[in-house]
Structure 1
Amino acid sequence: MKKLTTALVIGSVLSTSALAAKWHMPTPYGDGNLPTQIAYGFAEEIKDKTSGDLDITVHSAGSLVKHTEIPRAVKTGQVQMGEVFLGILGNEHPVFKHDNIPFLATSFEDAKKLWEAAKPQVEQQLDKSGMKLLYAVAWPAQSLYTKMPVNTLSDLAGAKMRAYSPSTSRLADLMGTTPTTIQVPDIPQAFSTGIIQAMITSPSTGVDSQAWDYVSYYTDVKAWIPKNVVVVNKRAFRRLDKNTQNAILEAAKHAEALGWEKVAERAASDKAKLIDNGMKVSDPSPELLNQLQAIGATMIEEWKAEAPKEVGEILTRYQN
Structure 2
Amino acid sequence: MRFLKTGLVLAAFALSPAAFALKKWDLASAFVTSNLHVANLAEFAADVERGTQGQLRITLHANSSLFKGSEIKRAVQGGQVQAGEILMTAYENESAVLGVDGVPFLATSYADARKLYQVQKPVLQAYLEKQGIVLLYCVPWPASGIYSKRAVDSIADMRGIKWRAYSPATTRMGELMQAQPVTVQPAELSQALITGVVEAFMTSTQTGVDSRAYEQVKYFYDLQAGLPKNAVFVNAKAFRSLSVEQQQAVMKAAEAAEDRGWQLSNEWNEASKRTLREKGMTVSEPSPTLRADVQRMGQQLLQDWQKKAGPDAAGIVTQYQQLRASDSQAVRK
Q: Same fold (TM over 0.5)?
A: yes
Q: Following TM superposition, by how much is the alpha carbon of 1:301 offset from its aligned partner in structure 2, in angstroms?
A: 1.2
Q: Following TM superposition, by how much is the alpha carbon of 1:308 offset from its aligned partner in structure 2, in angstroms?
A: 4.5
2:70 match: secondary structure? helix
Q: Which residue of 2 aligns with 1:211?
A: 213
Q: Which residue of 2 aligns with 1:23?
A: 25
Q: Which residue of 1 aligns with 2:271?
A: 269
Q: Is 2:192 the counterpart of 1:190?
A: yes
Q: Distance in 1 between matches of 2:178 and 2:110?
A: 28
Do the aligned partners of 1:81 and 1:233 also contact (CA within 8 Å) in 2? yes
Q: Following TM superposition, by how much is the alpha carbon of 1:23 offset from its aligned partner in structure 2, in angstroms?
A: 0.9
Q: Which residue of 2 aligns with 1:52?
A: 54
Query: Which amino acid counterpart does residue 132 of structure 2 have in structure 1?
Result: G
- State how 1:75-86 maps to structure 2 within 5 Å: 75-86=77-88
- State how 1:145-164 maps to structure 2 within 5 Å: 145-164=147-166
Deviations 1:86-108 (A, max 9, x none): 11221111111111000100111
- State how 1:58-207 maps to structure 2 within 5 Å: 58-207=60-209
Q: Following TM superposition, by how much is the alpha carbon of 1:310 offset from its aligned partner in structure 2, in angstroms?
A: 2.0
Please, which of 241, 245, 249 is the counterpart of residue 243 of structure 2? 241
Q: Is 2:293 the counterpart of 1:291?
A: yes
Do the aligned partners of 1:146 and 1:218 also contact (CA within 8 Å) in 2? yes
1:196 match: secondary structure? coil
Percent sequence identity over aligned pairs: 41
Deviations 1:225-254 (A, max 9, x none): 111110100111112110000000000000
Deviations 1:242-274 (A, max 9, x none): 000000000000000001122111100000000
Query: Which amino acid counterpart does residue 60 of structure 1 have in structure 2?
Result: A
Q: Distance in 1 between matches of 2:116 and 2:174?
A: 23
Do the aligned partners of 1:27 and 1:60 also contact (CA within 8 Å) in 2? yes
Q: Following TM superposition, by how much is the alpha carbon of 1:138 offset from its aligned partner in structure 2, in angstroms?
A: 0.9
Q: Is 2:309 the counterpart of 1:279?
A: no
Q: Distance in 2 between matches of 1:260 and 1:272?
A: 19
Deviations 1:46-66 (A, max 9, x none): 100111100000111111122
Q: Following TM superposition, by how much is the alpha carbon of 1:192 offset from its aligned partner in structure 2, in angstroms?
A: 2.2
Q: Which residue of 2 aligns with 1:8?
A: none
Query: Which amino acid counterpart does residue 256 of structure 1 have in structure 2?
Result: E
2:99 match: secondary structure? helix
Q: Distance in 1 between matches of 2:156 and 2:171?
A: 18
Do the aligned partners of 2:193 and 2:213 also contact (CA within 8 Å) in 1? no
Do the aligned partners of 2:30 and 2:187 also contact (CA within 8 Å) in 1? no
Deviations 1:194-216 (A, max 9, x none): 21210111111111111111111
Q: Which residue of 2 aligns with 1:318?
A: 320
Query: Which amino acid counterpart does residue 30 of structure 1 have in structure 2?
Result: V
Query: Which amino acid counterpart does residue 33 of structure 1 have in structure 2?
Result: N
Do the aligned partners of 2:25 and 2:57 also contact (CA within 8 Å) in 1? yes
Q: Distance in 2 between matches of 1:197 and 1:250?
A: 42
List gaps (5 residues or longer) in structure 1.
1-18
Do the aligned partners of 1:86 and 1:228 also contact (CA within 8 Å) in 2? yes
Q: Distance in 2 between matches of 1:209 and 1:89?
A: 22
Q: Distance in 2 between matches of 1:154 and 1:111?
A: 29
Q: 1:65 to 1:20 in 2, by over 3 A?
A: farther
Q: Where does structure 1 differ by over 3 angstroms across 4 or more consecutive aligned residues?
A: none
Query: Which amino acid counterpart does residue 289 of structure 2 have in structure 1?
Result: E
Q: Which residue of 2 aligns with 1:6?
A: none
Deviations 1:20-39 (A, max 9, x none): 51110011111111110110
Q: Which residue of 2 aligns with 1:230?
A: 232
Q: Which residue of 2 aligns with 1:258?
A: 260
Q: Distance in 2 between matches of 1:32 and 1:64?
A: 17
Do the aligned partners of 2:22 and 2:57 also contact (CA within 8 Å) in 1? no
Do the aligned partners of 1:303 and 1:311 also contact (CA within 8 Å) in 2? no
1:194 match: secondary structure? coil
Query: Which amino acid counterpart does residue 78 of structure 1 have in structure 2?
Result: Q
Q: Distance in 2 between matches of 1:307 and 1:121?
A: 12
List gaps (5 residues or longer) in structure 2.
1-20, 323-333
